[in-house]
Structure 1
Amino acid sequence: MAIFDDESVKKPRVHEIGQDLSLLSVGELNERIVQLKVEIHRLEAELKAKGATKAAAEALFRRES
């Protein structure tokens, strides 16, 4: 129990890499696949954003040289 209401509560992990999957149903496995695909999309979007920021910074410094 949290002492203060504003303390963050850790959410249980939906999936852990290397976790034993033998006890999961087909539906649970499919749901995890969907959730992992959504997470992959989110990670790829962040990589793209960071790449754009890096490219803009490199272009800025090339002009000043």
Structure 2
Amino acid sequence: MNLFDEDVPKKSPLGAVAVGEELSRLSEAELQERIEALKGEINRTQKELEQRGTIRDAANSIFQK
């Protein structure tokens, strides 16, 4: 292990995206992979939000009677 290794930012594990991560060291391909991973996470989050809305609406319809 080199004395200066701790100064070099480490890349995120494959598929992992860290918000605020240093982007200047990433290649174009890695930036594209990051975009795809972020789009996947946005879709996953939107689906969860939709599910919660459906559950909330169902609960409201039961308790509104």
For normalisation by structure 2, the TM-score amounts to: 0.75
Cα distance, 1:15 vs. partner? 1.4
User: In the alignment, which residue of structure 1 is the partner of 2:54?
Assistant: 52
User: In the alignment, which residue of structure 2 is the partner of 1:42?
Assistant: 44
Per-residue Cα deviation, 1:18-59 (whole angstroms, up to 9, x for no partner): 111000000000001001101100100000000000000001
Q: Percent identity at matched positions?
A: 42
Give the Cα–Cα distance (whole angstroms) in 2 for the partners of residues 19 and 35 of structure 1. 14
User: In the alignment, which residue of structure 1 is the partner of 2:9?
Assistant: none
Q: Structure 2, unaligned stretches of length 5 or more?
A: 1-12
For normalisation by structure 1, the TM-score amounts to: 0.75
Spell out structure 1 runs of 4+ moving beyond 2 A: none
Give the Cα–Cα distance (whole angstroms) in 2 for the partners of residues 42 and 17 of structure 1. 16
Q: Structure 1, unaligned stretches of length 5 or more?
A: 1-11
User: In the alignment, which residue of structure 2 is the partner of 1:8?
Assistant: none
Quote the RMSD (CA, aligned, Å). Answer: 1.2
SS of the equivalent of 2:64 reads: helix
- Between the two proteins, the alignment pairs up a number of residues equal to 52
**Which residue identity does 1:17 align to in structure 2?**
V
